[in-house]
Amino acid sequence: MAQKRLTIDYQEYASMAEMEEADRSLLERAVKATEGSYAPYSHYHVGAAVLLSDGTVVAGANQENSAFPSGLCAERTALFAAHAQYPHLAVRAIAITACSNGRMVSEPAWPCGACRQVLADSQRRAGTPVRIIVGGLSRIVVFSCVDDVMPFIFNGL
């Protein structure tokens, strides 16, 4: 038996002003995307912005549904729209944030497990790392690839 340990490198910013321009601009698109959220049940309005290899940005927001499981998270709304509209472009980055009661959430809006798995496939399709920017009022966290938010990733059969 070998005892092993995983470590993850990531960057943390205290405010959007500290961030590099490309990341900040994508996060701003995610903030704007929260306006498209339909969340009458959770009142948790998530926005996501996906950056593609030619510079195109595709935004998405969570869409809830009265038949509960039929809704979809912001990240998957944005990623599936991006892949459907631009199947030949690679995903380079995604920014995610959320608002509640008209205010950005304090803690970063961490993507759920299902969205991380979908991001894993986007990264596999791209063949290059997908950057993940997760924003909250108290801090913004940047990961340089999906593996950093999902160790031992399932990468298909």
- Contact of 118 with 76, CB cutoff 8 Å: yes
Interaction residues for ligand THU, span 63-82 (CB under 6 A): 64, 71, 73-75
- Asked if 91 is part of the footprint of ligand THU (rule: CB under 6 A), the reply reads no
Count of residues of this chain found to bind ligand THU when the rule CB under 6 A is applied: 13
Q: How far is the CB of 72 from ligand THU (least distance, A)?
A: 8
Choose between 10 and 38: whose C-beta lies nearer to ligand THU.
38
Is there binding between residue 39 and ligand THU (CB under 6 A)?
yes
Helical pair 113-126 and 74-85, crossing angle rounded to 10 deg: 30
Q: Cβ of 122: how many Cβ atoms within 10 Å? A: 20
Rule CB under 6 A: say whether 86 interacts with ligand THU. no
CA 90, CA 52: separation in Å to the nearest integer?
A: 6
| Segment holding 49, helix H or strand E | strand 45-52
Q: What is the rounded CA–CA span in Å between residue 69 and residue 47?
A: 19
Q: Which of residues 44-63 bind ligand THU (CB under 6 A)?
A: 44, 46, 62
75 is catalytic: yes
List, by residue number, the catalytic residues. Answer: 75
